[in-house]
Amino acid sequence: MKKFILILTCGLLFGCRGNSQKAVKSPAGETAQLTDFAVQKTDAQWRAELSDMEYYILRKAGTENPGTSEWLKNREKGTYVCAACGHPVFETDYQFDSGTGWPSFDRAIEGNVAYSVDYKIGYKRTEEHCSNCGGHLGHVFEDGPGETTGLRHCINGAALDFIPEQ
């Protein structure tokens, strides 16, 4: 019996496949390369330029508390840009109230968001990054408005700055 348990334990330990080498796909199916960004800075440079919260979210893939974003109820027309580099990532035309406590959009500005796979909480999620500097923005889920894209880009407000429409 001990031999059986030992063999079973070894099989479980060595038989599980890791996910760290899997190809990363966006919701549209393109493979993302998360090391090739136009804006490259040292950790010290990012720390000096960003607030503590912006650094935590954009550079360490943190998450702000739900309901705390100043952009959660923004109804002014304009463009959200990455708070780290100013790259446009979302338009208010596609913002909606998801009821989750984070600013939500049914689409990103095409080509301005990169994607990776995140298993940090035990299951697969699609993580979103600024395609210009690699800053962590949030995650995209497939439970958005069915009448549009069906996607919910759940974004940390501290990762965004807002530029009102002129």
Tell me, yes or no, whether 111 lies in a domain. yes
Q: Domain of 137: which CATH number?
A: 2.170.150.20
Tell me, yes or no, whether 114 lies in a domain. yes
Q: What gap in Å lies between CA 69 and CA 161, rounded to an integer?
A: 11
Residues 151-160, buried b or exposed e (16+ Cβ, 10 A)?
A: bbbbbbbbbb
Domain that holds residue 145: 41-164
Tell me, yes or no, whether 23 lies in a domain. no
Tell me, yes or no, whether 17 lies in a domain. no
Residues taking part in catalysis = 154
Tell me, yes or no, whether 101 lies in a domain. yes
Confidence of residue 9 (pLDDT cuts 50, 70, 90): low
pLDDT of residue 125: 86
Helix (H) or strand (E) holding 117: strand 113-118
Tell me, yes or no, whether 33 lies in a domain. no
Task: Return the structure tokens found at 132.
Answer: 């210009």
Number of structural domains found in the chain: 1
pLDDT of 4 above 80: no
Helix (H) or strand (E) holding 49: helix 43-49
Tell me, yes or no, whether 53 lies in a domain. yes
Q: By mean pLDDT, which of 29-33, 78-82, 124-128 is the weakest?
A: 29-33
Tell me, yes or no, whether 30 lies in a domain. no
Confidence of residue 104 (pLDDT cuts 50, 70, 90): very high
pLDDT of residue 3: 64
